[in-house]
Structure 1
Amino acid sequence: MAFEDRYGLGLSTQSETAAQRYREGIDLLQSAWPGAAQALDSAIEADGDFALALAARARAHLIYAEMQQARKKAAIARALVARNGSAREKSHVEILALTTEGQPARALELTLDHLDRWPRDALIMSLPLGAFGLFAFSGMADHDQARVDLCERHKHHYGEDWWFLTFLGWSHTENGDVEAGRRITQRAFDQRRKNAHALHALTHAMFEDGSVLDAENLIAGWLPVYDRSGLLYGHVAWHQALLALENGDTERASSIYAERIQPKINPAPPLNVMTDGVSLLWRLQASGHPVQRDVWRDLADHAGGWFPKTGNSFVDVHMALLTAMTGNWSALEARIADLEARRHQGKLPAGPVVPDICRAARAFAEENYRTCAEILEPVAADVVRIGGSHAQREMIEDTLLIALMNSGEPAKARDLLDRRLHRRPSLRDTRLRMGVAA
């Protein structure tokens, strides 16, 4: 009997149980719902030669930075698929294996070619999408548009599929068409409410269009059904904290950090724990709610073990802010030096904006606001190249905004904030939080 995945693509397994558990595992992985790893493990137990299940399990390991396990399973999958896999499965496994080996540029190149041949290979389609996807972390200045273009090119292959609609909607939201993005994402969420990616994408759309109360109610009604072990539990809580800050409630935002986001209690992947923690603590500090130094140090101790070296621009920027706020100048300068070396070697796709933000972080922490503004102003348009989402990158924009205000440049600060308000007309926004005069 021949088995297929949920999108009608063949699976090289003779086990009905393995095929069924694989389909379940992929849906759980694609919805960021707990149980994906267990389902994929069951598929592998039912058929130890099932290369796609091993490759998908490698992907799940990679998300949680379990690098040794990820590479081991990817290597086994490569060997297996070489013996009995179809052309599609061989390409599929190769792409996933490359992501475990730190070859994102090659993985992206093969992904785009693969999707031209097998556009309904949803797990491979997922790789360039999202705030932490291959497009976002490519260093491209137009990665928001690239995601939309990819989704639009292949959307006729997916119809009303809940997973595809989730990322089609999110891509439009991040590319500035928030009305369409919210509408499309709502269709996905209505089909499958046990879909953390859809909840997350809707929250982004509501944040961008200023529907703060809608976002608060959405999260409050949904988060209790999502287990704390879920991939995005801490990040959705981070969005709750941002909404609290939009309403000027720094105490609630601080409580959310302590109860759901801090590294001692947050089971999310290390990348999420570090970046969510840094950006929320920084925003609290910027909002006039001083963060205790031991809170910064706890996060720094945790993050330092996971991200001691450069390699991912989004990580490097957040680690620079973290080391600056803890006054670890030697670590910050070492990171900047390494970034400059990589840039001169042509190994820094996002370009000079990354070390520039790191230098600005030190100037800001030392309250040298004029220097901070002088560094950030010329590169502000290139901040998009570090990846992440608009909501995440606003932290860098806020850094420039505060630096301009504190260095005697109120007109420039107002101009910057007016551009943000045009893009995101939130009910209170930064104008109230940071005291910029109307």
Structure 2
Amino acid sequence: MVTTDRYGNRLYECTAEGAERLDRAVEALLFFRPELPDAVTDAVTAAPASPLAQAFAAYLGVLGTEARDAAEARRAFADFAAGLDHTALPRRERLHMAAAGAWLDGDLRGASRRLAELLVECPRDPLALAVGHQLDFFTGDATLLRDRIGGALPAWPDDEPHRGPLMGMYAFGLEESGHYDRAQEMALSAVEQNPHDVWSIHAVVHVHEMRGRFAEGVDFLDARLDDWSSGNLLTVHNWWHYALYALEADVPDTATRIYDAVLHHKDSTGFVMELLDAASLLWRFLLADRDQDARWQPLADAWAARQDPPFYAFNDVHAVMAYAGAGRFREAEALIADRRRWLTEATGPWTTNHTMTAKVGLPVCEALLAYAQGDHTTVVDLLWPIRREVHTFGGSHAQRDAVQRTLLESTLRAPRPDLTRLLLGERTGLSPHSPYNWLAHSRLADTLGQAGRAAASRATAAELSAPAAARLNRQTHTPYLTGRS
């Protein structure tokens, strides 16, 4: 008897119970449910000979960008693969095994290519789609983030319950590619199908962020607090987005309440994905010259406790943010020196992270440290040449904007008005509704002695921030922020 998953894909060496548990694990992945790790473990337990279950466990080991989880997954996967006749595997399982092995070996782009190859023959493989989507995110490939899902969507009927999460993935890819209207249309349609689809909610949030429409973003999140604000694997990250809206609207108290209740506190997990958001938010406070030392110190302690080896340059950058923001320059310098030494001593074949670190990660880390030390000329020297390449170490436009704002702030403080003018032209052209952009315009005008233009820019910023500020000042979210779940 042939065993298949709920999508009609044949499963090699898999029992009916194993197929059922694999389906449950895939659903948990699509909807970012906290039971995902247990669901994957259950699938492997029910079908230990299944290459697909073993590949899924391997993917889980790297999706969180936790070096220790990856090392454990690598050992388990190697043990399984050593006793496997790969030539006997059906093509789908063979490509999943190859993709999982490539990612565990540090070849993210190789893993991405194998999953893209698989989807040509099997577009109704949600595991390949979801994992490939995350690979595109980690490598900053906006085109693939969009087209990997877009190419497969026609194979998914409108009445398929799991088409919605794929629409949310597609919406995120559309947003990262600059197709904001289409992105919002797709994401809202997915949320209508399933209000708890937090990745689709996340896509809408990104559209509002990129468009500078923060009042609309606040309204959207407020209307759906019960759907996204607790009980899922994106809880912290979506609250981070809410805090960004608050900062842009110049309501910093809301952002700090979110930080203290959700992003980082004494009961925080210490998972790197949460620490990234915490560091990124505090860095924006630092760029605005708002003292947060009482928050920086525990966050820097949390990063220091991890003692991460070289694994993902994007994480290293945020660790340096924490050390530099806390004024712990020696720790930042030690991490930078360690990564520089690793680049020098590493032998081929180079991993994806080796390339990321050399081209983007290390100069960004050095620039962040220089910024905290007040050396704005060095920041400009380091970031200006790579400003169009920062996407290659992953993350979203919203996340990477912390780096772009660092460059802008240093051009204002160096000062380099010629570069500031160019950067602001780019930023305002893309997001004319951003109060931050107009406040930066006012500062440039002040530098140039253009008092009238400075006043007009400040008035524009105040007008743009007022609607979101009014909404935020009416909200407390106390029941949500005290739950921390």
Give the TM-score normalised by structure 2: 0.80
Structure 1: 5+ residue stretches without partners: none
Shift of 1:102: 3.1
Shift of 1:213: 2.1
Given candidates 390, 396, 399, the residue that maps to 2:397 is 390
Q: 2:377 matched to 1:370?
A: yes
Q: 2:131 matched to 1:127?
A: yes
Aligned to 2:148: 150
Aligned to 1:336: 336
Given candidates 413, 421, 432, the residue that maps to 2:428 is 421
Aligned to 1:349: 355
- 1:263, 1:302 within 8 Å by CA — same for their partners in 2? no
Q: Report the more deviating stretch, 254-263 or 66-75.
A: 66-75
Which digits, 9 at most, give the CA deviation of each residue in 1:204-227, with x for residues without a partner?
A: 012112332222122223343447
Which digits, 9 at most, give the CA deviation of each residue in 1:361-420, with x for residues without a partner?
A: 122111122222232222212222221101011111111111111123345324312311
Given candidates 211, 224, 234, the residue that maps to 1:222 is 224
CA 1:217–1:47 in 2, change beyond 3 Å: closer, same or farther? same
CA 1:311–1:414 in 2, change beyond 3 Å: closer, same or farther? same
Equivalent position SS for 2:215 = helix
Please give the alpha-carbon distance, in whole angstroms, between the structure 2 residues aligned to 1:255 and 1:417: 30
Aligned to 2:274: 273
- 1:287, 1:433 within 8 Å by CA — same for their partners in 2? no
Aligned to 2:116: 112
CA 1:387–1:53 in 2, change beyond 3 Å: closer, same or farther? same
Please give the alpha-carbon distance, in whole angstroms, between the structure 2 residues aligned to 1:222 and 1:70: 36
- 1:189, 1:198 within 8 Å by CA — same for their partners in 2? yes
Equivalent position SS for 1:3 = coil
CA 1:60–1:226 in 2, change beyond 3 Å: closer, same or farther? farther
Shift of 1:38: 3.1
Which digits, 9 at most, give the CA deviation of each residue in 1:84-107, with x for residues without a partner?
A: 753312321332243334332332
Shift of 1:255: 1.1
Shift of 1:316: 2.2
RMSD: 2.8
Shift of 1:62: 3.5
Equivalent position SS for 1:311 = coil
Given candidates 395, 407, 413, the residue that maps to 1:406 is 413
Q: Report the more deviating stretch, 300-309 or 232-241.
A: 300-309
Which digits, 9 at most, give the CA deviation of each residue in 1:38-81, with x for residues without a partner?
A: 33334344444444234323433433433355335534653676
Please give the alpha-carbon distance, in whole angstroms, between the structure 2 residues aligned to 1:228 and 1:81: 41
Please give the alpha-carbon distance, in whole angstroms, between the structure 1 residues aligned to 2:343 and 2:113: 21
Which digits, 9 at most, give the CA deviation of each residue in 1:135-156, with x for residues without a partner?
A: 3444x7xx21232333343332
Aligned residues: 430
Please give the alpha-carbon distance, in whole angstroms, between the structure 2 residues aligned to 1:288 and 1:334: 25
- 2:124, 2:156 within 8 Å by CA — same for their partners in 1? yes
- 2:228, 2:238 within 8 Å by CA — same for their partners in 1? no
Q: Which amino acid aligns with 1:147?
A: L
Structure 2: 5+ residue stretches without partners: 444-453, 458-485
Please give the alpha-carbon distance, in whole angstroms, between the structure 2 residues aligned to 1:48 and 1:355: 41
Please give the alpha-carbon distance, in whole angstroms, between the structure 1 residues aligned to 2:204 and 2:338: 38
CA 1:284–1:434 in 2, change beyond 3 Å: closer, same or farther? farther
* Identical counterparts, % of pairs: 24
Given candidates 77, 90, 106, the residue that maps to 1:74 is 77
Equivalent position SS for 1:349 = helix
- 1:246, 1:430 within 8 Å by CA — same for their partners in 2? no
Please give the alpha-carbon distance, in whole angstroms, between the structure 1 residues aligned to 2:72 and 2:379: 42
Equivalent position SS for 1:5 = coil
Please give the alpha-carbon distance, in whole angstroms, between the structure 1 residues aligned to 2:92 and 2:209: 39
Which digits, 9 at most, give the CA deviation of each residue in 1:154-184, with x for residues without a partner?
A: 3322354212211111111101111111111
Please give the alpha-carbon distance, in whole angstroms, between the structure 2 residues aligned to 1:424 and 1:279: 20
Q: Which structure has the larger Rg over C-alpha atoms?
A: 2
CA 1:2–1:213 in 2, change beyond 3 Å: closer, same or farther? farther
Q: 2:101 matched to 1:100?
A: no
Shift of 1:307: 5.2
CA 1:374–1:97 in 2, change beyond 3 Å: closer, same or farther? closer
- 1:61, 1:69 within 8 Å by CA — same for their partners in 2? yes
Please give the alpha-carbon distance, in whole angstroms, between the structure 1 residues aligned to 2:39 and 2:366: 45
